[in-house]
Amino acid sequence: MPIDVVNPAAHKKTADTFHFSAAARANGLLILSGQIGANPDGSPISPEDEFRNAWQGIGAVLAEAGKGFEHILEYTSYHVNMHDHLGAFMKVRDEFLSEPWPAWTAIGCTDLAIPGARVEIKVVAG
């Protein structure tokens, strides 16, 4: 099974440093690596802006692959202190997704790759 990788220019440094692609495509599925919306330098950001940045990052990877948010089949969100901001996350999510709603799993966790990040979102698109 041939695998096609998707790496927008903005992701190149991260891909080279950490040895992973923003997305991989095979057999009609596009699987995106997790997107974090926190400021990489650790500077403060509101939860809503962080969630919006993460969804915008997903949009950039989807666009690079010739897809849009309407192609999302499933997503998993990983949350630090999930119950503190799940409502805000869902409100921002609804700026990007609409019916028919994709499948969703929300998982609480203690840490993410960037210290201070609140959410990471992993997507599967068709």
From CA 77, how far away is CA 4, in angstroms rounded?
24
Superfamily (CATH) of domain 4-125: RutC-like (3.30.1330.40)
From CA 6, how far away is CA 118, in angstroms rounded?
25
Q: How confident is the model at residue 11 (pLDDT cuts 50, 70, 90)?
A: confident
From CA 112, how far away is CA 78, in angstroms rounded?
8
Q: What is the per-residue pLDDT across 27-83, written as a single tens digit (0 to 9) for each?
A: 999 999 999 998 877 788 999 999 999 999 999 999 999 999 999 999 999 999 999
Return the pLDDT at 13: 85
Helix, strand, or coil (residue 32): strand
From CA 11, how far away is CA 89, in angstroms rounded?
23
Q: What is the DSSP pairing of strand 103-109 with strand 72-80?
A: parallel
Return the pLDDT at 61: 96
Average pLDDT taken over every residue of the chain: 94
pTM: 0.93
